[in-house]
């Protein structure tokens, strides 16, 4: 009987086992979603049910840094990264208590150039207040990882060299001064990236960076994420979770 291909000595080392890409959920605002043209808001009730779904499945939401550290140890199969973009003031009021209730961590990507401002980059509104410096410190003190979303929320693929450096490197320096802690993570505004933006983030010293659908640039500085919104009930979350595992290629080094 002929030997199977797997049992033949081909003279080549076996292919390394590659885990699925880490599952990182992308949230924005938590509050009233009655006027939400960009679909960036989930109600506290919906977030509560989504976190409950994670826990029922034996999963736990954590910061991206905790997720990547666990995977580096060959662990973390039961961990899901939870990220909140833009640094809305409602994070402290409405999201943080629910994260504590369900024993979850998260990464909050903020804009140090817009402290206490609003989401002026969204032309259709509605205007949503952003966290002040004190609000960011409060979130950090309660165990939330603080990452940079740039200084002012500009598309880095359209930025000139000076703006790109300020948005990436200066935002990190300002946040480290504000929090008194290292800032390891970056999140690309609008999720848009190119090789130049990724290189700038890497050179600024970030350990990782989150995108949305980075395509061939996928890597530790261009992590894919899964959008989670108000319409994501339990069955939709289940579908998104498994589609991500099936469709996303593994991330080199993770």
Q: How far is CA 181 from the centre of its chain?
A: 19
pLDDT of residue 245: 72
Please tell me the predicted confidence (pLDDT) of residue 242: 83
pLDDT of residue 5: 30
Q: What is the pTM of this model?
A: 0.90
User: What per-residue confidence (pLDDT) applies to 18?
Assistant: 55
pLDDT of the residue at 16: 43
Quote the pLDDT of residue 44: 98
Residues of the chain below pLDDT 70: 1-19, 247-254
Cβ distance 187 to 149 under 8 Å? yes
Q: What confidence score (pLDDT) does residue 250 get? A: 62
Q: What was the pLDDT predicted at 254?
A: 63
**Cα–Cα nearest to 151, from 109, 106, 104:** 109
CB atoms within 10 A of CB 66: 18
pLDDT of residue 175: 98
Q: Distance between CA 151 and CA 169 in Å, rounded?
A: 9
């Amino acid at each position: 009987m002929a030997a199977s291909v797997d049992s033949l000595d081909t003279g080549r080392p076996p292919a390394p086992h590659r885990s699925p890409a880490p599952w990182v959920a992308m949230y924005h605002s938590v509050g009233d979603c009655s006027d939400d043209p960009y679909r960036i808001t989930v109600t506290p009730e919906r977030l509560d049910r989504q976190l409950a779904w994670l826990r029922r499945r034996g999963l736990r939401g954590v910061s991206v840094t905790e997720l990547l550290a666990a995977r580096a140890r060959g662990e973390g199969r039961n961990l899901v990264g939870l990220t909140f973009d833009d640094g809305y003031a409602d994070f402290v009021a409405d999201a943080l208590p629910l994260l504590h209730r369900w024993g979850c961590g998260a990464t909050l990507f903020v804009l140090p150039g817009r402290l206490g401002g609003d989401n002026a980059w969204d032309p259709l509104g509605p205007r949503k207040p952003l966290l002040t410096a004190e609000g960011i410190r409060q979130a950090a003190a309660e165990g939330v990882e603080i990452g940079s979303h740039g200084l002012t929320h500009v598309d880095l693929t359209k930025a000139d060299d000076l703006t790109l450096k300020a948005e990436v490197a200066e935002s990190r320096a300002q946040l480290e001064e504000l929090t008194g802690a290292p800032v390891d993570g970056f999140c690309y505004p609008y999720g848009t990236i190119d090789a130049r933006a990724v290189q700038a983030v890497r050179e600024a010293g970030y350990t990782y960076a989150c995108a949305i659908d980075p395509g061939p640039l996928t890597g530790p500085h261009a992590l894919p994420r899964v959008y989670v919104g108000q319409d994501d009930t339990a069955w939709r979350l289940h579908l998104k979770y498994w589609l991500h595992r099936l469709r996303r290629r593994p991330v080199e080094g993770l």
